[in-house]
A = this chain, B = another copy of it.
Amino acid sequence: MAITAKGRATRQRIIEGAAAYLRSDDPAGVTLDDIRAITGTSKSQIFHYFPDGKEELFLAVARYEAGRVLDDQQPHLGALTSWAAWDRWRDAVVARYRTQGRNCPLGALMSQVGSTAGANEVVSALLSRWQFHVQEGIAEMQDAGLVRASVDADRVAAAFIAGIQGGVQVLRSTGSVAHLEAALDTLIDHLKG
């Protein structure tokens, strides 16, 4: 049997409960007991489903949250084929992080789990996929003759990723999305030439 449906449900409940907690409260000092209380489980269950304890659980939550990041930007991110699409994407990104406010689930996770190899891998993979979509969008715009060919799609896509990440980080400190908007608008302006 290995793992029953009930077990899988409990495991998922723990992940989603932890994710919800990270998203709401001040997640500076999340403790296993907090998660236990919120998810209505017991210590033994956490260690039953995540034998390596805190680190394994947090990594699972990080993967779960990382998946949501790109999903929240769809379908815009996957079809950056017109200036209108770019604008919609820009608005979706800004809206998402404005709603999120200072509480960045992934950022909080990274603060907690530190700089373990696994955590870095999750973030790197997310950023890589993200950048790939932007790069594809730039390339398609170039193919359509809407962006000049001299633009280095890979490099500018990397600049977008950096700008977004930095904008979000500034948001976490200052509570303002101005920098995020400035980065996106300036880079889109740059594409427009």
A102–B119 Cα distance when bound, in Å, is 14
* Interface size in chain A (residues, C-beta < 8 A): 39
Q: Decide if A170 touches B179 in the complex (CB within 8 Å).
A: no
Q: Is A70 an interface residue (CB 8 A)?
A: no
Q: Is A4 an interface residue (CB 8 A)?
A: no
Q: Is A48 an interface residue (CB 8 A)?
A: no
| Chain B proximity of A191: nearest CB distance (Å) | 10
Q: Decide if B115 touches A28 in the complex (CB within 8 Å).
A: yes
State the A residues within 8 Å of B (CB): 26, 28-29, 102, 110-111, 114-115, 120, 123-124, 127, 155-156, 158-159, 161-170, 172-174, 178-180, 182-183, 185-187, 189-190
Given contacts A110-B111, A162-B179, A166-B169, 15 further A-B contacts (CB under 8 A): A26-B115, A28-B115, A120-B173, A123-B173, A124-B173, A155-B186, A156-B186, A158-B178, A159-B179, A159-B187, A161-B179, A162-B163, A162-B182, A163-B166, A187-B190
